[in-house]
Structure 1
Amino acid sequence: MTNPPGGDHAAPHTLITENQQFPPESSAETVLSEEEESWARAAQDEAARKEAADSIIQAFGGVRGMIDMTLPGLVFIVTYNLTHQVSTAAWGAIALSAVFVVIRLLRRETIQHAFSGVFGVAIGAWISMKTGKAENFYLPGLLWNVGYAVGLAVSALVRWPLIGLTLGPVTGEMFTWRTQNPGRLAAYTKATWAWVVIMGIKPVILFPLYFTGNVNLLGWLKVALGIPPMLLAMYVTWRILLTAPPPIKAEQPEES
């Protein structure tokens, strides 16, 4: 049989050339698989970030929780304008807060935020009836706003941001953001400072009105500044957490 041109050494040379031009299919499949895994991981991280960000409204009671804590103040100022009786207005606010709690109990929903509303309204009502001054109905809420803003600031300074403490149990990460996820700790700290600024606006505006004794303006502004600042703080937090690293789920103890 006649050898191809170039003799016996031509065949190996041709084989090497073919191997160089046509890499094994398994190599291409491996590269493709790695790319797919990378895309899958990226998609999972993005979904985890979005889920964690969306948990903000749930953690703070949602719009329903904000309404539960805002409407009693509206009832107070409306009733006071109609009757000019502090006690009547106070009892009207208490009654509405109690109705909210009953409705949540009947629906087997959490009463945390509704009960907080009842507690705050009851204290304000007691102080206003005891002193006979309608503006004192809003005093506990104003003091709470100041204390909350200070607490947020202190928590951020000591690197235990309150927004992280609030959202950790909701997202399932608990405190892993504090020890294993520095990017998320930074995000929670940034969000907490945003809350300090936004929630600190309310007492800055309302406390001067409280000392003037202008009950009408104080009451209406207190209602107007109830939900919008909360929604703004939630939105800012949501935007911050969308770009933060995904949460690291806390390990659950195995049941024996």
Structure 2
Amino acid sequence: MPETPGSPETPDSLAAREPAERTASFSDAFAAAARRSGIGQVAPGETPTAQSLVRAIGGVRGLVESILPGLAFLVIYTVTKDLTPSVVAPLVVSAVFIVVRLATRSPVMPAVAGLVGVAISAALALFTGRAEDNFLPGLIINAVSIVVLLVSIIVRWPLIGLIVGVLTGDMTGWRSDPAKFRVVLIASWCWVGLFALRLGVEGPLYLASQAAALASVKLLLGVPLYAAMLWVTWLLVRAAFGHQKSDAAPAERP
């Protein structure tokens, strides 16, 4: 019997609605995460420029906030070989970033997220007494990223395609277009290669307890490599998806 306005919902109607609400919530959360990612900061059809690339990786402030904590660890540990000041210094630097953002009324969450990451790494290193454990969370993140990307490739839903689908407003259309699917598949494999390179270089240094070398390599394979891969991905995606705007324009003319 159809429900009348104002009547209480039956258990069956509630049970039917909950999965749909959970699906919508997951889709919204994924879309928000995709837009916050580096790729999500650029339009697939936008012409890549140095300025837009810097914007995609957080701007000049984002670059500074990404590099300085690791650089502080490297300098202090190289000079002193003392674990405590080496992991405390990045915490202080990260806290200063939050204060600066508050003082300038800038969005504070990026700096807070950075501080949380630095704090977890520092706590782990202080707990074990091993300087190289300061980099263990990063190694784990690289390994998890490889697994997630590989799973997405195996099930034929490459992660880069999902992100681009969110940005273009077409979550599934790219899967039926061989050229677009090939591009996002190649781009996803490129990101697998990035994380595998980091893990392959940093992993042996971690196992060899080479904290200073690990800090240096992490800086080199961090923002610079990320920016380069973002640029490559941008060029690949633009080649396949960039024509969408030009295709749509003639249709709008009278």
TM-score, normalised with respect to structure 2: 0.67
Residue of 181, 187, 206 corresponding to 2:183:
187
Mark the CA change 1:167 to 1:76 in structure 2 (over 3 Å): closer, same or farther: farther
Asked whether the equivalents of residues 146 and 195 of structure 2 are also in contact (C-alpha less than 8 Å), the reply is yes
Instruction: Tell me by how many angstroms 1:137 deviates.
Output: 0.6
Mark the CA change 1:60 to 1:228 in structure 2 (over 3 Å): closer, same or farther: closer
Residue of 33, 46, 54 corresponding to 1:51:
46
- The one-letter code matched in structure 2 to 1:206 is E
- Structure-2 residue corresponding to 1:155: 152
Mark the CA change 1:49 to 1:165 in structure 2 (over 3 Å): closer, same or farther: closer
- Structure-1 residue corresponding to 2:127: 130
2: CA distance, partners of 1:112 / 1:182: 39
Residue of 92, 95, 114 corresponding to 1:95:
92
- The one-letter code matched in structure 2 to 1:51 is E
Compare 67-76 and 177-186 and name the one that shifted more: 177-186
Matched, 1:245 2:230: no
- The one-letter code matched in structure 2 to 1:114 is A
Instruction: Tell me by how many angstroms 1:50 deviates.
Output: 3.2
- The one-letter code matched in structure 2 to 1:201 is L
- Structure-2 residue corresponding to 1:104: 101
How do 1:1-256 residues align onto structure 2 when only pairs under 5 Å count? Answer: 50-51=45-46, 58=55, 60-62=57-59, 64-169=61-166, 171-173=167-169, 175=171, 177-178=173-174, 183-246=179-242
Match of 1:243, SS?
helix
Mark the CA change 1:49 to 1:79 in structure 2 (over 3 Å): closer, same or farther: closer
Structure (1 or 2) with the larger CA radius of gyration: 1
Mark the CA change 1:92 to 1:194 in structure 2 (over 3 Å): closer, same or farther: same
Match of 2:241, SS?
coil
Asked whether the equivalents of residues 48 and 234 of structure 2 are also in contact (C-alpha less than 8 Å), the reply is yes
5+ residue gaps, structure 1: 1-47, 250-256
Asked whether the equivalents of residues 146 and 192 of structure 2 are also in contact (C-alpha less than 8 Å), the reply is yes
2: CA distance, partners of 1:242 / 1:130: 46
2: CA distance, partners of 1:137 / 1:115: 18
Instruction: Tell me by how many angstroms 1:148 deviates.
Output: 1.3
Match of 2:45, SS?
helix
Match of 2:219, SS?
helix
- The one-letter code matched in structure 2 to 1:210 is Y
Mark the CA change 1:192 to 1:179 in structure 2 (over 3 Å): closer, same or farther: closer
Asked whether the equivalents of residues 52 and 241 of structure 1 are also in contact (C-alpha less than 8 Å), the reply is no
Instruction: Tell me by how many angstroms 1:81 deviates.
Output: 2.6
Mark the CA change 1:114 to 1:136 in structure 2 (over 3 Å): closer, same or farther: same
Asked whether the equivalents of residues 77 and 216 of structure 1 are also in contact (C-alpha less than 8 Å), the reply is yes
- The one-letter code matched in structure 1 to 2:186 is K
Matched length: 201
State the Cα deviation string for residues 167-218 of structure 1 (Å, max 9, x = none).
Answer: 454x352625556766444422221111111221011001101111122211
Instruction: Tell me by how many angstroms 1:101 deviates.
Output: 3.1
Mark the CA change 1:66 to 1:152 in structure 2 (over 3 Å): closer, same or farther: farther
2: CA distance, partners of 1:78 / 1:205: 21
1: CA distance, partners of 2:53 / 2:177: 19
Match of 2:240, SS?
coil
Mark the CA change 1:228 to 1:218 in structure 2 (over 3 Å): closer, same or farther: same
Asked whether the equivalents of residues 173 and 248 of structure 1 are also in contact (C-alpha less than 8 Å), the reply is no
Instruction: Tell me by how many angstroms 1:66 deviates.
Output: 4.4
Instruction: Tell me by how many angstroms 1:103 deviates.
Output: 2.9
1: CA distance, partners of 2:181 / 2:48: 14
Compare 48-57 and 128-137 and name the one that shifted more: 48-57
TM-score, normalised with respect to structure 1: 0.66
